[in-house]
Amino acid sequence: MLVRDAMSTVVLTIGPTHTLRQAARLMSARRIGAAVVHDPDTCGLGIITERDILDAVGSGLDPDRETASAHTTTDVVFAAPAWTLEEAAEAMTHGGFRHLIVLDGDGPVGIVSVRDIIRCWAPARRTVAAAG
């Protein structure tokens, strides 16, 4: 199975000046765990996750003053839609993260998460177990 089969095509893109509270509200409303952060000044893409926000708030930072740019991961590993789920899982395991931005051409076309991969693999494992 390929990343394109598992990825979510709901890609929330925010700017670097969004506050953590704004990012959290947008992510919560869409029931997603990560947002792409696009910084037009650097032409770069980064990612902010629910864990980044939780860590900031848990350490006492003000979610109304802290901006996404201060908590964005910019050293991002990107996936391609044609990657296998095994390749995506290996990249996540090696890098210690739970989300991959999926790029096709010039921009993001999706995000694949550990949950997406598990959702695809779990039915296949049940089928194999039932056949055995």
Residue 125's pLDDT is 60
Residue 61's pLDDT is 98
Q: What is the DSSP letter of 70?
A: G
74-to-46, 102, 126 alpha-carbon distances in Å: 4, 15, 38
Residue 122's pLDDT is 84
Residue in 91, 121, 94, 92 with CA at minimum distance from that of residue 33: 92
Total residues found in the chain within this entry: 132
Q: Which residues pair with 49 in a beta bridge?
A: 34
pTM for the whole structure: 0.85
Q: Map tokens 């765990």 to a residue.
A: 33
Contacts of 88 (CB under 8 A, 6+ apart): 3, 6, 79, 100, 112, 117
For residue 19, which amino acid is it? T
Residue 40's region, left for phi above 0, alpha for psi from -120 to 50, else beta, is alpha
- Determine the Cα–Cα distance for residues 3 and 8; give it in Å rounded to an integer: 9
Residue 131's pLDDT is 57
Residue in 3, 54, 73, 14 with CA at minimum distance from that of residue 38: 14
Residue 35's pLDDT is 97
Q: CB count, 10 Å around CB of 104?
A: 14
Per-residue pLDDT of the chain (132 residues; tens, 9 = 90+): 999 999 999 899 999 999 999 999 999 999 999 999 998 887 689 999 999 999 999 999 999 999 999 999 989 999 999 999 999 999 999 999 999 999 998 789 999 999 999 999 887 665 555 555
